[in-house]
Amino acid sequence: MVRALDILRNSWRLYRANGPLIVGYAAWLLLTAAAFVLTSFVQHEGARQLLLLAVQIVDVMLWMWVGIMVTLITIDANAGKQPGSARLPNDAWTLIVPFAWATVLQGLVVLGGLLLFLVPGCIFMVWFAFAQQAVVIDKKRGLDALTQSRALCRGRFFAVTWYLFVGPFLVMLVYLLVLAMVFAAVAALTGTHIDVLFGDQPPLWMDITASVGEIFLMPLIYVYWTLTYLELKK
């Protein structure tokens, strides 16, 4: 198996090479991000809660759709093929239900393990981490997706744990460092005290900046997990 850092480098190369396509689809998440902000200005409590629930449902569906899209793009690009942008959206929507069902099963199993004891929950988290990739890549459904993910971990639990978390950890570390520098620079330019930025009620622009950054960061992590899944299958 190749090193996790090599997979991360390949993920970054693939992300850059297909950046316009990936970012174009991820940009749809800006709609729900904006909707969350606008919802906060609704005065009526009941209406605000209903709108918030509706936006959350749409946001979850969009996140799943983008995750599936990025996985499909990664599969094509990794195979040396030009991602077919015309067919991808429809293909992704057909996978929403099995993707969501695998996610629900994954969450229930992990939650059950955590309620029993911390260790089983952590083990299940690693075993079934690639259930979504099994749905998209190998067309597995329901418990079969969890079984496929578990099979990839057999005999190499700690190696899979390392692969699973080290890439996203490094990506998030770099992202948070860059975000902190941006916030510090803006604070210096505007004369805003640092306590205000990191207080209980930070400025709205901070939340918006962080949300936009996360929207375009998560596809890179999806690429990494997809390439990791493909590597584990070898």
> Tens digit of pLDDT for each residue in 41-80?
888 888 888 998 998 999 999 999 999 999 999 999 998 8
Q: How many residues does the chain have?
A: 234
CA dist 142 and 34 (Å) reads: 33
What is the longest distance spanned by two Cα atoms in the chain? Answer: 56
Quick: pLDDT tens for 101-118. 999 999 999 999 888 888
Q: Are 36 and 58 in contact (CB under 8 A)?
A: no
- Which residues make Cβ contacts (< 8 Å) with residue 114, sequence separation at least 6? 120, 121
pLDDT at 202: 66
pLDDT at 198: 64
- Which residues make Cβ contacts (< 8 Å) with residue 184, sequence separation at least 6? 194
| Residue 233, SS3 per DSSP | helix
